[in-house]
A = this chain, B = another copy of it.
Amino acid sequence: MTPSTLPPELADALHQRFGSRFSRGDSVRLQHGRDESPHGPLPPDAVVFAASTAEVAAAMTLCAAHGVPVIPYGVGSSVEGHVLAPHGGVSLDLSGMNRVLEIHAEDGDATVEAGVTRKQLNDALKGSGLFFPIDPGADATLGGMAATRASGTNAVRYGTMRDNVMATTAVLADGRIIRTGSRARKSSAGYDLTRLLVGSEGTLAIITELTVRLYPLPEAVSAAVCAFPSIDAAVRTSIQTIQLGVPVARIELVDALTITAINAYSKTSLAVAPTLFFEFHGSPASVEEQARTVQAIAGDQGGLDFAWATRPEDRSRLWQARHDAYFACLQLRPGCRCVSTDVCVPISRLADCIAATAKDIAQTELPVPILGHVGDGNFHLVIPILPDRPDEQEQAAWLRGRLVERALAMGGTCTGEHGVGLGKRQYLAAEHGAEAVAVMRSLKAALDPGNLLNPGKILPER
């Protein structure tokens, strides 16, 4: 591990300001130099545990005076190396900024500090009749989810963080504090700074507080599971469901290999076949109607054993397999590390994209599950590789590269919800074109001329 190389004056100033909440210890640095990706570790030179927007601004101002980078950190659940410190600097840990500041039940919004996690917010909402739907799997911080434009299983109904962050408080590269957006449901008042910060991965400003949209808890929820003779049949079922305007809350696809992994992990006996998991939200009559409509579509596509449930315990049982999928996949190869990657394509291309990807997978010796949020055209590969096998790392890189190139050729994006971080930088120009990337660079230069905010992320280094 490289030694910490902070300018002594800065270290003194940070120590004076933050006391024991400023750390240069190896274990703390290492913990903040890792995330859920295969990148790194790349530890920062120090970690500051901030407790308020004012403290974030103070730390930023001090670091800026010494030209030292700052990397915002939540709970480290990012999957493309977003929180790593390739240029060293100070990791700004916001996990202690975890107060739910305001809940406006009538308006359906809540304002939280950036370190509040999605589960924490939903716990705070108990009894209000409202919930925050965005669910990327991990119990990520809302600040981190905003920074990576996260989404997950129910984006098909409720949108992504792009759609659900109404306002932010953020610290600029020079320590100034701005507020973006408002609690109004819509506005045409000037440039959309909120949407500029959402997805900017801490490279334009550090989000310290945010206001998010809440939704009424559905009066009724039902779940369904259905196996299909082919991935194509499952995807066609998804497309027709969306085209008919069924307001489905989740449609998740898992492939046969994933089912095998789940059966082994969860001791279930699901049919080993491509499978769709559904969730429906609405009135009791509406969720029943939705389930019946989807059952009919699935039947036309050869769907087998359509099972649906409305009681919470039965729904949980049906969905348990989907919830277990990631951990089940990890068990496919004991001792492996999983490289998780995602793309998103127009839904009409999804079946082709998955089929071609499955052929690629067959050319490797790796057991690679495919699972996805197919209502949006978004899917993941979970590539299990053994740490001591460089050839497997190469195979994983090859699969990832082929997948991204295919998604872009189909009019899609190199990442639907994971973000760019370190891992997808090389695809940015292929996706957006050199001129659009130049515009992104000019925005970065305008807001962070010293390249101090999470440097090395999103934009390829030159």
Per-residue interface assignment for chain A, residues 88 to 112, with 1 indicating a CB less than 8 Å from any chain B CB and 0 otherwise:
0000000000000000111111000
A411 touches B199 (CB 8 A): no
| Chain B contacts for A447, CB-based, 8 A | 439, 442-443
8 Å CB interface, A180-221 against B: 180, 182-193, 195-196, 198-200, 204, 215-219
| Chain B contacts for A184, CB-based, 8 A | 344-346, 377-378, 407, 411-413, 416
| Chain B contacts for A413, CB-based, 8 A | 182, 184, 186-189
Please tell me which one of the listed residues B160, B216, B458 contacts residue A186 in the complex, with CB atoms under 8 A apart: B160
8 Å CB interface, A420-442 against B: 420, 424, 427-428, 431-433, 435-440, 442
A188 touches B415 (CB 8 A): yes
Among A8-16, A44-52, A171-179, A311-319, the one that faces the other chain is A171-179
B179 touches A420 (CB 8 A): no
| Chain B contacts for A188, CB-based, 8 A | 148-150, 199, 413, 415-420
| Chain B contacts for A178, CB-based, 8 A | 432-433, 435-436, 439
Q: Is A129 an interface residue (CB 8 A)?
A: yes
Please tell me which one of the listed residues B185, B191, B424 contacts residue A199 in the complex, with CB atoms under 8 A apart: B191
| Chain B contacts for A182, CB-based, 8 A | 411-413, 431
B185 touches A378 (CB 8 A): yes
Q: Is A376 an interface residue (CB 8 A)?
A: yes
Please report the C-alpha to C-alpha distance between residue A416 and residue B188 in the assembled complex, in whole angstroms.
Answer: 5
Q: Is A2 an interface residue (CB 8 A)?
A: no
Query: 7 A-B Cβ contacts within 8 A?
Result: A104-B346, A108-B242, A179-B436, A191-B204, A216-B243, A245-B281, A443-B447
Please report the C-alpha to C-alpha distance between residue A338 and residue B217 in the assembled complex, in whole angstroms.
Answer: 42
Q: Is A162 an interface residue (CB 8 A)?
A: yes
Please report the C-alpha to C-alpha distance between residue A447 and residue B105 in the assembled complex, in whole angstroms.
Answer: 40
Q: Is A446 an interface residue (CB 8 A)?
A: yes
CB distance from A306 to the nearest CB of B (A): 19
Among A62-70, A270-278, A282-290, the one that faces the other chain is A282-290
Q: Is A320 an interface residue (CB 8 A)?
A: no
| Chain B contacts for A122, CB-based, 8 A | none
Q: Is A336 an interface residue (CB 8 A)?
A: no
Please tell me which one of the listed residues B159, B189, B215, B415 contacts residue A432 in the complex, with CB atoms under 8 A apart: B189
Please tell me which one of the listed residues B293, B415, B439 contacts residue A187 in the complex, with CB atoms under 8 A apart: B415
Give the copy number.
2
B198 touches A192 (CB 8 A): yes
**Pairs of residues from A and B, 8 with the lowest C-beta to C-beta distance, nearest first:** A195-B195, A216-B245, A446-B446, A187-B413, A106-B348, A184-B344, A107-B346, A184-B413
CB distance from A309 to the nearest CB of B (A): 21
CB distance from A378 to the nearest CB of B (A): 6
Q: Is A1 an interface residue (CB 8 A)?
A: no
Q: Is A151 an interface residue (CB 8 A)?
A: yes
| 4 extra A-B contacts, CB within 8 A, seeds A179-B433, A190-B432 | A104-B348, A149-B187, A176-B438, A180-B432
Please report the C-alpha to C-alpha distance between residue A151 and residue B185 in the assembled complex, in whole angstroms.
Answer: 11
CB-based nearest B residue for A427: B189
Please report the C-alpha to C-alpha distance between residue A431 and residue B106 in the assembled complex, in whole angstroms.
Answer: 22
CB distance from A28 to the nearest CB of B (A): 28
CB-based nearest B residue for A418: B188
| Chain B contacts for A139, CB-based, 8 A | none
| Central interface residue in A293, A428, A435, A438, by most chain B CB within 10 Å | A435
Please report the C-alpha to C-alpha distance between residue A129 and residue B240 in the assembled complex, in whole angstroms.
Answer: 12
